[in-house]
Structure 1
Amino acid sequence: MPQVTAAEISRMAGVSRATVSNWRRRHADFPSPSGGTETSPAYDLDAVRSWLSGRGQLPAETPAEDLRAALRERPERADPTRLLPLVLAAHRLDPGHLDRVLELPDEDLIRRATDLVGDAATYGGDEAPVLRTLLRCVRVDGALVAADILAERGTDDSTTTGTYRTPAEVADLMADLLLSRDRRFPSDVYDPACGIGGLLAAAARHGARRLYGQDLLPAQAVQAATRLGLQHRNAKADIRSGDSLRDDAFPSLGAGAILCNPPYGNRDWGQEVLAYDPRWVYGLPPKGEPELAWVQHCLAHLAPGGRAVLLMPPATAERTSGRRIRAELVKSGALRAVMALPAGAAPPPHIGLNLWVLTRTEDESQAAPDTVLFVDAVGPGRQGWESVREAVLSAWSAYEEGVFEAVPSVARAVPVVDLLAGPTDLTPARHVQSVTTAIRPADHMRQVRRKRTELRQAADRLLSATEPGERWTASGKQPQTWRTTAVADLLRGGALTLLRAVPAGRAPTVDSDVEVRAGDVILPELFARPYRARVADSADEGRPLGRQHLLLRPDPQRLDPWFLAGFLSAEENVNAAATGSTIVRVDVRRLQVPVMALPDQQRYGRAFRQVQELREAADAVSRLAEEAADAFGIGLSGGALLPPDEEQP
């Protein structure tokens, strides 16, 4: 009797695990457990399907859902290390060839699948249904979707703690920090805790051609190799499984660059057996400082002149137990920068992580740098990821080129002697706050005037953005009403296409194979106020769809994108489509759209576009006003500005 876990039910219904838990508590007719354990119960698959169907929560069957069902019915065969090679092999076939394979009888299909993967796996006589379903999913939904579904079963039962996937935008920022002054990217990149390969994929996007990775979980290592093979065929990937600290798969590797998001807080990292390991050049990491073990592991695998960027928990920058190693990293010049990211930029969502930039000098006799760069990309004036990215990259670029000047409350180069004089606390916020002591009055006065000019220009744009509304008229004594249709109906009719980078109820994937086009409508998957759909423009063209976002691609002959985005953002519309309690998601298929002729849609679309321009102008004024006020306040309190002698009107 096939059974499913709560995690699998969440994927079947497209909801979070918290929602499934709420169903179990609140609905007496929810199926009772038929197996599993008290902490991880299992449920009869047919009973769950029937219950979900009765509530309208069971999505329409697709090749992807068929594959999930096939894996649930044969759990003993659902091993991604056996099936993933077939995904990669099928991806390399042209569509016509794959169609011919799908038409083969069961026995021939099994033989052909085994031939395709070579020595990577062999398949048995009773596996024809799951192999056929897998190949159909690759053909219809794409190889990455099939690989992700196999990964769901390969990592659900992981007992590894402190391991998180790196969002694509953070991975790209980390890769950007590896660029040399002449904008060249290292040819070889290593990640000793590679997970499913997100950081290595970012390196490949930037131009790396040799990728080395290791992960503790064999299923994740195979997943990484498969994803890199699917997306980056021009890069040669060598991915292995095992514990990088205890059982280093690349002991002699000296990579040109390293990207790493190491596991956090794992006290059982092997300190007792690795006490005399030659990697601990900067000191034996205490048992409670595993992150400093990963830092030294990375430095040991850097080639001379190489650079490493690690995503680190903030506590590593200040814990007393790690003070001696931090001091050695600073004194030797290995640590070049620490950059604070806002909470929510990467999981865990409630913690603001830090980027550590480390280098290995080409010449040991070379004098160590006399400063360390600190950047605090958190706080007023840095709203949205693009402003965070700009704060980090502009400060690092100027610092590396030797033209860096302190930015009040954002960035500062701190002398090494000052860091070593105290507890070697590497928390960025504690260092950038003292920028005002270095302000030159004339320079600061120029900055204040520039901010005033920018604010006045933004205010003029805001006034211009309000002008179109003067030509609008009231609709009459009563509000307009329209006949509406659900997004689900528009999807079935082909007027819309729905794409997602991260399926609901799933952990975020590192990489998205969905490329945004101008005119796409992008919506957040999670509910938050204000909830707004936005229309992609030319600047978004070719970018990967962000995690926890959905994309609606309208047929331009039938739907205007601005009309669509405007009505999909309506508060009453979003409230009616929101589901869940602890984590609230928006079921985009339930959102309603007025039925209008295309010329009427375009008329409303132009108006919604004007509304968006008004919002953007208002946001710019708010941000610039905050920055101007900060510049005035810092100048006064830091002694760079003098108030007038007498009161002015």
Structure 2
Amino acid sequence: MPKQPEFSAAPEVSAQVTAAEISRLAGVTRATVSNWRRRHMDFPSPAGGTDSSPLYDLAAVRTWLAGRGHGEKVPPIEELRTLLRLSAHDRSAAVRLLPFALAQRSRPDLFTAADALSDDDVAVRAQASVHELPALPGTRFDDVTYTASDAALLRAVLRCIDAGQTQDAVDVLAERELEDEAASGAYATPGPLADLMARLLGAATPQSPYPVRVFDPACGSGALLVAAARQGAKYLYGQDLVPVQARRSLVHLGLEAPDPTADIRAEDSLRADAFADLTADGVLCNPPYGDRDWGHDELAYDPRWAYGVPPRGDSELAWVQHALAHITPGAFAVILLPPAAATRSLSRRIRAELIRAGALRAVVSLPAGAAPPLHIGLHVWILQRPELTAPEHQSVLCVEGASLTGSDGKSGPRPARTLGGSRTAGRDGVVTAPWDSLTEGVLRYWTSYATDPSGFEDVPGQARAVPVVDLLDDLVDVTPARNIRTTAAAADPVVVAEQARRLRCELAQAAEALAASARQEDWPAAGAQARQWRTATLADLTRGGALTIHRAGPPSSRERDTPPPAEFENRPVLSGRDLATGQRATADPETPVPHTTAIVAEGDVLLAEIRSDSGTKARVADEQDSGAVIGRGVRLIRPDPKRLDAWFLAGFLAAEDNLNSASVGTSSLHIDPSRLRVPLLPLEEQRRYGEAFRHLYTLRQEARRATELAVLMPKALADGLTGGTLLPPSSSNGSDRTDPTRPAS
């Protein structure tokens, strides 16, 4: 797309802003705004609000900031969010602006001189561009009108497009309109999860082309339909209860997948099915959860309930049957559901009928944190509409996703970037979840099972083809964790015993190393009183040339689509999480390398940018760290070895009192390294302290390793005992446990 011109500041809006919004406009902290209010007599007086929460006239604030040289530094997306809040008198502005983002992408030539256009001209051109959009099924754009009062918002959207944030602008517009919606139980579908679900739909028939017609009856922002289009779907159908979500989905598809034909309707899918005659080739859906007002009474005799009438308190099984009713025999549906759908007693008869008919083919549990709501682990159900001539299915595949990511099933992966989803959606976190391993594992097991169900080999703790007879008990519980065996029945007892012996040896050695470190000579008292010394901040030491501070910066809008500089490319990246957990830099080629960063050298001090109650705050880079680059969440401090000892510096920088004085923020505490203080001591005395801090770091690492083994070893022994591969110690007093190096009998 041709680059948009620079736009002038939006016309002043007669509105009031808070001190927090002033800080975002000026790119400073709230404390700075408070200082301005106290120190500058000409700072605008409050125009409203209360003594504790004053409001200021936006036009007056902007004039004052411009006079002081504080140009507005707020990102375009934050400017749009602020202007939307200030436009509370016109709540329809958000939904009316959605198609403008799509129109402007296809007609950038209409605003080549937007900075010179009047408000009326901006509105007229914007309206003309929207009216030129092609007519789509169930959607009209010729009723969209703009006036001069919309010019500020239109310009804000243009700035977002110019910054490469078109989809972000669409999400912000929709979220503003959704604030008053009461669609409870509706959550966003993260982009990686939408991609996984779309690929599962295609992997069901690996030898066939991707389903041509894909339907999402609770499409939200269209993330699942976009994912299906990327896999090869040609005709996309969607429906959502909330009108702004239907329009948002249509715009999302126009931006991300313009080639397939889309038909999106805004009605209640269960009560007013807009696609009653549609029989699709596949269904993807993330329906709302726990909705008791889904239409139980008026839909009691609906023909869609082929497996039983869903109880009032189980709307999820209504969505499952709605999806099955909309696909051809033999076609598949992939649906995201809460774990209660697998166990709820109200619906065990429906689950039993789904299993008997062969409609339920697989259940995949996701780690908690993989998708909203983040505190529970959701399930992905894979269903198939039964064929009369198809052979009877003898099993259901269960996959435990937490075991594929190294999660314990409770903490799970961290929240992934949200690309939109069912009914309500958010944007934009950082992709930190181990989605690669999760996606690869789930697809591998499902493809293998779908190709040859009877030949599928169970994997202890991860996947099992559960016989139908085992599921059809009194509970009909299809929860993967309940149905997957953690140990293989045919495991070799000798191999299990050898693995247990090795873990016992490693634990004993780790415990001995930890005990040896803890038994170091006594640490004497400093005297009758604590030592006092002169200190200097890192800012002072930087100005004096004793050290330099480096950090990784995000790419600019122009750099996003270009590779990093050659000196940084293809290097492992050390993140803040790696530093906190004691891990090495990530060498995964998929990990993005920052455009602005620094190469780690042995002797550099690595400091975490965000405070945490546990984990490493600072350490000295060693030979294994050398050559990596720092990523987000890490500050690299490079001391002059002739003036500062690295371990001395790391030890004092990580002191609690020091970190407390340099921490800023509310929800998350960020460390401002320039405020950290270091004692001014001779280099020889620094080295004495440095050796002590190095010893303490080693002690912490040994304690962490011993703790990990103390968890792994008892679990391995317990699994061996309960799985029948190990026997209790033959000695009644357990004396064999005192010699972990003795070979297993």
- Aligned match for 2:402, one of 371, 378, 393: 378
The answer to whether the Cα contact below 8 Å between 2:573 and 2:630 also exists between their aligned partners in 1 is no
Tell me the residue number matched to 1:138.
161
Q: Match of 1:150, as an amino acid?
A: L
Q: What whole-Å deviation, never above 9, does each CA across 1:540-585 have from its counterpart, x for those lacking one?
A: 36xxxxxxxxx953178999972465843886798745522xxx33
Q: Match of 1:376, as an amino acid?
A: E
Matches within 5 A, 1:609-628: none
- Tell me the TM-score normalised to structure 2 length: 0.62
Tell me the residue number matched to 1:562.
629
The answer to whether the Cα contact below 8 Å between 2:496 and 2:725 also exists between their aligned partners in 1 is no
CA distance in 2, matches of 1:58, 1:429: 56
- Aligned match for 1:579, one of 665, 689, 698: 665
Tell me the residue number matched to 1:538.
589
Q: How far does residue 358 in structure 1 lie from its aligned partner after superposition?
A: 0.7
The answer to whether the Cα contact below 8 Å between 2:304 and 2:321 also exists between their aligned partners in 1 is yes
The answer to whether the Cα contact below 8 Å between 2:367 and 2:378 also exists between their aligned partners in 1 is yes
Consecutive unaligned residues of structure 1, counting only runs of 5 or more, are 16-29, 36-40, 458-477, 501-512, 542-550, 595-614
Q: How far does residue 318 in structure 1 lie from its aligned partner after superposition?
A: 1.1
Q: Does 1:88 align with 2:102?
A: yes
Matches within 5 A, 1:162-181: 162-180=185-203, 181=206
Tell me the residue number matched to 1:400.
450
Q: Match of 2:468, as an amino acid?
A: V
The answer to whether the Cα contact below 8 Å between 1:372 and 1:415 also exists between their aligned partners in 2 is yes
Tell me the residue number matched to 1:112.
125
Tell me the residue number matched to 1:637.
722
- Aligned match for 2:234, one of 209, 212, 218: 209
Where 2:186 maps in the other structure, the secondary structure is coil
Q: Are the structure 2 counterparts of residues 568 and 243 from structure 1 closer, same or farther at C-alpha, using a change threshold of 3 Å?
A: farther
Q: How far does residue 328 in structure 1 lie from its aligned partner after superposition?
A: 0.7
Q: Are the structure 2 counterparts of residues 531 and 200 from structure 1 closer, same or farther at C-alpha, using a change threshold of 3 Å?
A: farther
Q: Match of 1:411, as an amino acid?
A: A
- Aligned match for 2:381, one of 356, 362, 381: 356
Q: How far does residue 207 in structure 1 lie from its aligned partner after superposition?
A: 2.8
The answer to whether the Cα contact below 8 Å between 1:88 and 1:230 also exists between their aligned partners in 2 is yes
Matches within 5 A, 1:366-515: 366-378=390-402, 382-383=406-407, 384=413, 385-386=434-435, 387-402=437-452, 403-433=455-485, 436=487, 439-442=489-492, 483=541, 496-497=553-554
CA distance in 2, matches of 1:42, 1:252: 56
Q: How far does residue 198 in structure 1 lie from its aligned partner after superposition?
A: 1.8
The answer to whether the Cα contact below 8 Å between 2:337 and 2:381 also exists between their aligned partners in 1 is yes
The answer to whether the Cα contact below 8 Å between 1:338 and 1:355 also exists between their aligned partners in 2 is yes
Q: How far does residue 157 in structure 1 lie from its aligned partner after superposition?
A: 1.5
Q: Are the structure 2 counterparts of residues 639 and 61 from structure 1 closer, same or farther at C-alpha, using a change threshold of 3 Å?
A: closer
CA distance in 1, matches of 2:717, 2:276: 54
Q: Match of 1:323, as an amino acid?
A: R
Q: Match of 2:146, as an amino acid?
A: Y
Q: What whole-Å deviation, never above 9, does each CA across 1:382-437 have from its counterpart, x for those lacking one?
A: 2353444444333323322324222222222221122113221112211114x65x
Q: What whole-Å deviation, never above 9, does each CA across 1:15-53 have from its counterpart, x for those lacking one?
A: 9xxxxxxxxxxxxxx999859xxxxx99846489979x9
Q: Are the structure 2 counterparts of residues 159 and 136 from structure 1 closer, same or farther at C-alpha, using a change threshold of 3 Å?
A: same
CA distance in 2, matches of 1:217, 1:288: 22
CA distance in 2, matches of 1:357, 1:227: 26
Q: Match of 1:374, as an amino acid?
A: C
Q: Are the structure 2 counterparts of residues 381 and 452 from structure 1 closer, same or farther at C-alpha, using a change threshold of 3 Å?
A: farther
CA distance in 1, matches of 2:59, 2:575: 29
- Aligned match for 1:187, one of 209, 212, 223: 212
Q: Match of 2:284, as an amino acid?
A: L
Where 2:195 maps in the other structure, the secondary structure is helix
Q: How far does residue 324 in structure 1 lie from its aligned partner after superposition?
A: 0.9
Q: How far does residue 229 in structure 1 lie from its aligned partner after superposition?
A: 1.2
Q: How far does residue 633 in structure 1 lie from its aligned partner after superposition?
A: 4.9
Q: Are the structure 2 counterparts of residues 235 and 175 from structure 1 closer, same or farther at C-alpha, using a change threshold of 3 Å?
A: same
The answer to whether the Cα contact below 8 Å between 1:87 and 1:143 also exists between their aligned partners in 2 is yes
Q: How far does residue 326 in structure 1 lie from its aligned partner after superposition?
A: 0.8
CA distance in 2, matches of 1:419, 1:643: 32
Where 1:497 maps in the other structure, the secondary structure is coil
Q: What whole-Å deviation, never above 9, does each CA across 1:303-329 have from its counterpart, x for those lacking one?
A: 222211111111111111111111111
Tell me the residue number matched to 1:333.
358
Q: Does 1:79 align with 2:93?
A: yes
CA distance in 2, matches of 1:244, 1:522: 47
Q: What whole-Å deviation, never above 9, does each CA across 1:151-193 have from its counterpart, x for those lacking one?
A: 2311112211111101222222222211232385323322111
CA distance in 2, matches of 1:220, 1:46: 33
Tell me the residue number matched to 1:122.
145
The answer to whether the Cα contact below 8 Å between 1:85 and 1:117 also exists between their aligned partners in 2 is yes
- Tell me the TM-score normalised to structure 1 length: 0.70
Identity between Structure 1 and Structure 2 (%): 41
Paired residue total: 554
Where 2:265 maps in the other structure, the secondary structure is strand
Higher RCO structure (Cα 8 Å, ≥6 apart): 1
Where 1:539 maps in the other structure, the secondary structure is coil
Where 2:120 maps in the other structure, the secondary structure is helix
Q: Match of 1:168, as an amino acid?
A: G
CA distance in 2, matches of 1:453, 1:205: 47
Where 1:406 maps in the other structure, the secondary structure is coil
Q: How far does residue 234 in structure 1 lie from its aligned partner after superposition?
A: 2.7
Tell me the residue number matched to 1:70.
83
Q: Match of 2:554, as an amino acid?
A: T
The answer to whether the Cα contact below 8 Å between 1:154 and 1:219 also exists between their aligned partners in 2 is yes
Where 1:247 maps in the other structure, the secondary structure is coil
Tell me the residue number matched to 1:286.
311
CA distance in 1, matches of 2:504, 2:111: 59
Where 2:484 maps in the other structure, the secondary structure is helix
Tell me the residue number matched to 1:553.
595
The answer to whether the Cα contact below 8 Å between 2:221 and 2:248 also exists between their aligned partners in 1 is yes
Structure 1, 41-50 or 366-375: larger mean CA deviation: 41-50
CA distance in 2, matches of 1:574, 1:213: 51
Q: How far does residue 266 in structure 1 lie from its aligned partner after superposition?
A: 1.0
Q: What whole-Å deviation, never above 9, does each CA across 1:219-261 have from its counterpart, x for those lacking one?
A: 1221121122112223332222121111112112222221111
- Aligned match for 1:253, one of 259, 270, 278: 278
The structure with the largest alpha-carbon Rg is 2
CA distance in 2, matches of 1:192, 1:404: 32
Q: Are the structure 2 counterparts of residues 34 and 479 from structure 1 closer, same or farther at C-alpha, using a change threshold of 3 Å?
A: closer
Q: Are the structure 2 counterparts of residues 168 and 189 from structure 1 closer, same or farther at C-alpha, using a change threshold of 3 Å?
A: same
Q: What whole-Å deviation, never above 9, does each CA across 1:510-546 have from its counterpart, x for those lacking one?
A: xxx999976697968x9996599966752236xxxxx
CA distance in 2, matches of 1:207, 1:447: 46
CA distance in 1, matches of 2:47, 2:477: 53
The answer to whether the Cα contact below 8 Å between 1:495 and 1:558 also exists between their aligned partners in 2 is no
The answer to whether the Cα contact below 8 Å between 1:279 and 1:296 also exists between their aligned partners in 2 is yes
Where 1:245 maps in the other structure, the secondary structure is coil
CA distance in 1, matches of 2:578, 2:23: 17
The answer to whether the Cα contact below 8 Å between 2:330 and 2:384 also exists between their aligned partners in 1 is yes
Q: How far does residue 139 in structure 1 lie from its aligned partner after superposition?
A: 2.0
The answer to whether the Cα contact below 8 Å between 1:568 and 1:593 also exists between their aligned partners in 2 is no
The answer to whether the Cα contact below 8 Å between 1:327 and 1:420 also exists between their aligned partners in 2 is yes
CA distance in 1, matches of 2:446, 2:281: 19
Where 1:266 maps in the other structure, the secondary structure is coil
The answer to whether the Cα contact below 8 Å between 1:84 and 1:226 also exists between their aligned partners in 2 is yes
Q: Are the structure 2 counterparts of residues 48 and 133 from structure 1 closer, same or farther at C-alpha, using a change threshold of 3 Å?
A: closer
Tell me the residue number matched to 1:156.
179
**Which structure shows the higher helix fraction?**
1
CA distance in 2, matches of 1:374, 1:84: 41
The answer to whether the Cα contact below 8 Å between 2:216 and 2:283 also exists between their aligned partners in 1 is yes
Q: How far does residue 365 in structure 1 lie from its aligned partner after superposition?
A: 3.2
